[in-house]
Structure 1
């Protein structure tokens, strides 16, 4: 009798800190189950510090691809052998491929996911955006807005001379910027009462409030914007789009 050839086992995973809540693990575990990819497994690599990343790569047999989340999307870049052109321009990586020779290449699929999720909401008046936060995710959002030919500015708790502070956001600014995007983790479960510190009465029905947070489904940021008639959207669809893009990159 011919010996049955065993399928090669592949591992994928998420690199981040405090990632028990992770979208990616649930999403890919369900995907593998649904499509009977019984030789694939998705793991969480919860790292206290980015230096521990080397051990993940060295000690995880069959590792084929990784996602990267807060707070390591920028810090991970020096550990990679190559970085895609877009990820270099963005300055943040959320997807990594591992070659047979163990070479690591970084990509950014957040920009693709955000652009695809925002596009259906856009109307004639949506010419300018405010990006709340200046971390790795904000860079992918800025890149996507450039592709959509939408002007943008950043809002920060510690603004540089080129950024707005939250205290500066007034009626005139809200009239000019009609897309407000939260890229901070404020409001993420379990801290669901937190939200960016701004005057929510400035939102109108002409505004889009987009929150990269997806858990809870309606964050305090979205609820308060919605109470003032803004069009709202959370980060779930963006995450699905970026995850599927990552899957294509891992398997091309």
Structure 2
């Protein structure tokens, strides 16, 4: 039996567990199980895989995407540059155990974004500067798209929400919400930007996938902007995780 799992805290409803269990069933993948491991203290992580050699890999979610790096022996190029890990493989040789960390969020974001990009999408506004933004910023740099980070505090970004005006919105036709504002159950909330300046030249991308259409995206659609939620990004990174793990079985 091969064990895979998700570590984070707290862990409520998990997309990952449902996704992989359905995948295993539909594709007749046997002898692989996936479960949730709610770990508040990241120092408990080593006991989890260290005492059970059936573990071959993990997903990592908040709040451990950065702190787990202390337990990683090798980082992929993108994980090193982003400074966050959401996928881990466990390698065992003789009695030595080594871990490699990856960031597949960047892969999922890039693959889901690029088909929507047009020539005029040269500058982006990134709403929020938390952990979710790290893979986004890495991808924008890779794609040659300049960006400005919008935060509630001037210390955490290039500008604050109150500084956004018509000129700023006009000059940034790609707007990406990396904040949790608008996530279920707070579906009546959205980032505080001047939506009246959004046009049909804009692309609004929300990392949130629940609800399917956030208020942020509704405002964009009302102004004829192209819109995209984070669900495809989630699917793409999940499949990339499986590809990475499978090569380690």
Do they superpose with TM above 0.5? yes
* Structure-1 residue corresponding to 2:91: 99
* Structure-2 residue corresponding to 1:85: 77
The alpha carbon displacement at 1:161 in A equals 7.5
- Per-residue CA deviations over 1:80-100 (Å, capped at 9, x if unaligned) read 122112211111111111112
Note if contact 2:129-2:156 (Cα within 8 Å) is conserved in structure 1. no
Note if contact 1:98-1:104 (Cα within 8 Å) is conserved in structure 2. yes
What is the total number of aligned residue pairs between the two structures?
A: 244
* More displaced stretch, 111-120 vs 53-62: 53-62
TM-score, normalised with respect to structure 1: 0.91
Q: Secondary structure at the match of 2:67?
A: coil
Partners of 1:13 and 1:84 lie apart in 2 by: 20
Q: Secondary structure at the match of 2:133?
A: helix
Note if contact 1:68-1:95 (Cα within 8 Å) is conserved in structure 2. yes
Do the aligned partners of residues 192 and 161 (structure 1) sit closer, same or farther apart at CA in structure 2, a change above 3 Å counting? closer
Partners of 2:121 and 2:168 lie apart in 1 by: 13
Q: Note if 1:32 corresponds to 2:38.
A: no
The alpha carbon displacement at 1:162 in A equals 5.5
The alpha carbon displacement at 1:216 in A equals 1.2
The alpha carbon displacement at 1:55 in A equals 3.2
The Cα RMSD (Å) is 1.7
* Structure-2 residue corresponding to 1:228: 223
* More displaced stretch, 40-49 vs 28-37: 40-49
Which of 141, 145, 151 aligns to 1:146? It is 141
* Structure-1 residue corresponding to 2:241: 246
Note if contact 2:106-2:136 (Cα within 8 Å) is conserved in structure 1. yes
The alpha carbon displacement at 1:172 in A equals 0.7
Matching of residues 140-219 of structure 1 within 5 Å: 140-160=135-155, 163-219=158-214
The alpha carbon displacement at 1:79 in A equals 2.0
Partners of 2:86 and 2:212 lie apart in 1 by: 22
The alpha carbon displacement at 1:127 in A equals 0.4
Partners of 2:44 and 2:193 lie apart in 1 by: 37
Unpaired runs of 5+ in structure 2? none
Do the aligned partners of residues 166 and 50 (structure 1) sit closer, same or farther apart at CA in structure 2, a change above 3 Å counting? farther
Do the aligned partners of residues 172 and 26 (structure 1) sit closer, same or farther apart at CA in structure 2, a change above 3 Å counting? same
Note if contact 1:25-1:44 (Cα within 8 Å) is conserved in structure 2. yes
